[in-house]
Amino acid sequence: MQTLAVDIATTFADDAAALLTGSGRALLQFAMGPIDRIANACDIAGVLTERRATFRMWRASRARARHAGRRFSLLGRLSPFRHLAHLT
């Protein structure tokens, strides 16, 4: 009985975190939409598309490392510079 209560509590917590994450991403995308359109209109040399492709490749390699057993610290996840790590 106790494991069922723990499972329900963890499921609720996971669902609440996913809801907050999704809502935050939707709000951020809504707020950044006009800025992204201006940036894409001004991108003559294709620098933004190249950067996005590089970031996707970096993120995929990070996901593979996570599945391989390497873990990233909590400090790394909360760092304001975490999205700049592919530049080093």
Q: Give the Å distances, CA to CA, from 71 to 57, 59, 64, 67, 84.
A: 18, 14, 11, 9, 18
Q: Flag whether the pTM goes above 0.85.
A: no
In 3D, which of 50, 72, 51 has the Cα closest to residue 63?
72
C-alpha to C-alpha distance for 86 and 55, rounded to whole angstroms: 7
C-alpha to C-alpha distance for 35 and 66, rounded to whole angstroms: 32
**pLDDT tens column, 12-44:** 999 999 999 999 999 999 999 998 889 888 888
For residue 18, give the amino acid letter.
A
**pLDDT tens column, 40-59:** 888 888 888 888 888 888 88
